[in-house]
Structure 1
Amino acid sequence: MAQRLLFRRIWTVATKELRQNPAPSAAVASSSFSTSFQPSSSRGPFLTPSHTLPCSLPLAFHRLVSFNVQDHDDFTERVINSELPVLVDFHAQWCGPCKILGPRLEKAIAKQEGRVTMAKVDIDDHTDLAIEYGVSAVPTVIAIRGGDVVDQFVGIKDDDQLDSFVSKVIGQ
């Protein structure tokens, strides 16, 4: 559990750093792979983009379709204060329908090309958020725009229903 949380935090910092300071693809592609991991003074012990792989990252890497909520402050920052509409997927690791709905929902959101994003909230890790939003069954998907709940559904939906739900949330 602690390892998973540490990995999430490192991943969040690393991806945020890459989004803020993308390396020029020509410089990365022409540089040879370096195994010297010397931390830069301003970034701490994390690898700089020029010390990663000798190829450029796809543009889709910079704009993530979904993210895992780390804590209540992260939820406030990335969901409540988001300029984009956010679909919050309340799920659990032990939930079979959640494992089916998650990828379908990500696919429906990816079709919208950055006009909406998805936050994943594991109810076992973030019980306080589940209680705050009245989640009594999983999967529950809540659409939040400008900090307000605009729509929601409980249970599994087919692809057409998900596309319709996402389009309706964006169009409101």
Structure 2
Amino acid sequence: MAHRLLLRRFVSVTLRGSSGPVRSRSSALFPSRSSLSWHGTGPPLHHQAVPATARGFCVSHASRVTFNVQNQADFAERVINSKKPVLVDFHAEWCAPCRILGPRLEKMVAKQQGKVIMAKVDIDEHTDLAIEYKVSVVPTVIAVKAGEVVAKFVGVKTEDDLEVFIKKLTCT
């Protein structure tokens, strides 16, 4: 996915900088192949593209308060040393309940408008963190405030339960 985005960005910059006629992205990448399909003096209308515009990356509020933990040092820096309360979601890609809980948590954290942040830890990639925080079942969510674990729950919760859990974290 990242490669595809990078390629699109490269192609849009290349097309924008060219002084010649604007062609479709496919004809820019494969000029000889696409020219074979032209039967007239120029490309058919469905092959013509609008001028490429630069696309910025989406930076929604949810993406600013939710992040994936990269390693032990990243966890220490962004979770343990955080001035804000942090919800740490221990999950796994193969875990179906994790795929249900994750979006709910992100939605509820985004509603807090920056009062709480959320760290996502894949237990398959960061087994050491899972062992350190005694995670034996996924999904497990721990609440860290001032570097200390102050609350924990295991399993899927409703949005109402999550709201109560987060409110307790922000009020204390």
What is the root-mean-square deviation in Å for CA atoms of aligned residues?
A: 2.3
Question: Which letter does structure 2 place at the counterpart of 1:153?
Answer: F
> TM-score, normalising length from structure 1?
0.67
Q: CA deviation at 1:64?
A: 1.2
| CA distance in 2: counterparts of 1:78 and 1:66, whole angstroms | 11
* SS of alignment partner, residue 60 of structure 2: helix
| CA distance in 2: counterparts of 1:76 and 1:135, whole angstroms | 17
Measured against aligned partners, the alpha-carbon deviations of 1:11-52 in whole angstroms (never above 9, x if no partner) come to xxxxxxxxxxxxxxxxxxxxxx7449xxxxxxxxxxxxxxxx
Q: CA deviation at 1:158?
A: 0.4
Question: Which letter does structure 1 place at the counterpart of 2:142?
Answer: I
Distance 1:61 1:108, change over 3 A: closer
Unaligned ranges ≥5, structure 1 = 8-32, 37-52
Question: Which letter does structure 2 place at the counterpart of 1:157?
Answer: K
> TM-score, normalising length from structure 2?
0.67
* SS of alignment partner, residue 64 of structure 1: helix
1:1-172 map, 5 Å: 34-35=13-14, 54=54, 60=60, 64-172=64-172
* SS of alignment partner, residue 67 of structure 1: strand
| CA distance in 1: counterparts of 2:90 and 2:124, whole angstroms | 10
Q: CA deviation at 1:57?
A: 6.1
Count of residues in correspondence between the two structures: 126
Unaligned ranges ≥5, structure 2 = 3-11, 16-52
